[in-house]
Chain A
């Protein structure tokens, strides 16, 4: 598997969440994603970028275009140096929130992606990576 393109977007506040949406949309369009595929990955990106702002004190998003033979995909990596998540399984459950949100961010983003990885520990920040492949439901 190759990374054909990579872009780093810093996320500090709410305005950058919008920038992340636009950058991810553009990358998805460049890869030829269908409108529904674009919308799903952009929405997932919006949820995860907001999580970084609300809970991680901001962070970075790395947008990678992937090629795996003829398969094309988009991988987004969200990294923050925030307080981390003590119980990742609990954080993934719909409706669980420590803030003012609805608790749909992590679980919702996982449903909207084809692949989902999360690593986090208290005091060590959080890293979430999602991948969507073109043409896969």
Chain B
């Protein structure tokens, strides 16, 4: 079984999925991510799927479940880099990944996580936090 590395950057975790995962690898990643969220008190999780040329219902469900678990553990999740052909296929398959935030690439994904982390603190006084 392959193992997906999890990198820590500030208070975020990054999981770059570089291999075609079998189901047990996907489940292992989900468990590992939830453990690392608690261990590092991470506020954000970024899952890079730009190397995946297939996302079927099992991997789709793993992504949705991971986002839900992270939410319960007070962390935001963003899935980045989905290939257009994968997006077309996923929707036709019947999966819309509701509840999973997405971004086009790692940079935009990190930006999204940073904003999500700052939002509650910035809300009361600052009106110019959108810039």
Contact = CB atoms under 8 A, between A and B. Distances in A.
A50 B23 contact: yes
B22 A43 contact: no
Contact of A39 (B21, B22, B58, B88): B88
A120 B74 CA distance: 46
Interface size class of A (residues with CB under 8 A): 20 to 34
A35 B89 CA distance: 11
Interface stretch (A17-25, A65-73, A122-130): A17-25
Interface size class of B (residues with CB under 8 A): 20 to 34
A136 interface: no
Contacts of B83: 39
A63 to B, nearest CB: 16
A1 interface: no
A14 B25 CA distance: 10
Interface stretch (A2-10, A74-82, A84-92, A102-110): A102-110
B111 interface: no
Interface stretch (B7-15, B34-42, B49-57, B118-126): B49-57
A39 B83 CA distance: 10
A129 to B, nearest CB: 19
Interface of A is mostly: helix
B58 A101 contact: yes
Nearest to B26: A14
B54 A17 contact: no
Contacts, number: 72
B20 A21 contact: yes
A112 interface: yes
B24 A14 contact: yes
Given A42-B54, A50-B56, A14 B88 contact: no
A21 B52 CA distance: 12
A46 B56 contact: yes
Contacts of B85: 35-36, 38-39
Contacts of B92: 40, 108, 111-112
A102 B94 CA distance: 10
Given A43-B56, A104-B94, 14 more contacts: A15-B22, A36-B88, A38-B53, A39-B83, A39-B86, A43-B54, A43-B89, A43-B93, A46-B58, A47-B56, A101-B57, A102-B57, A104-B95, A111-B94
Interface of A: 14-15, 17-18, 21-22, 25, 35-36, 38-40, 42-43, 46-47, 50, 94, 101-102, 104-105, 107-108, 111-112
Interface of B: 20-24, 53-58, 61, 83-86, 88-90, 92-95
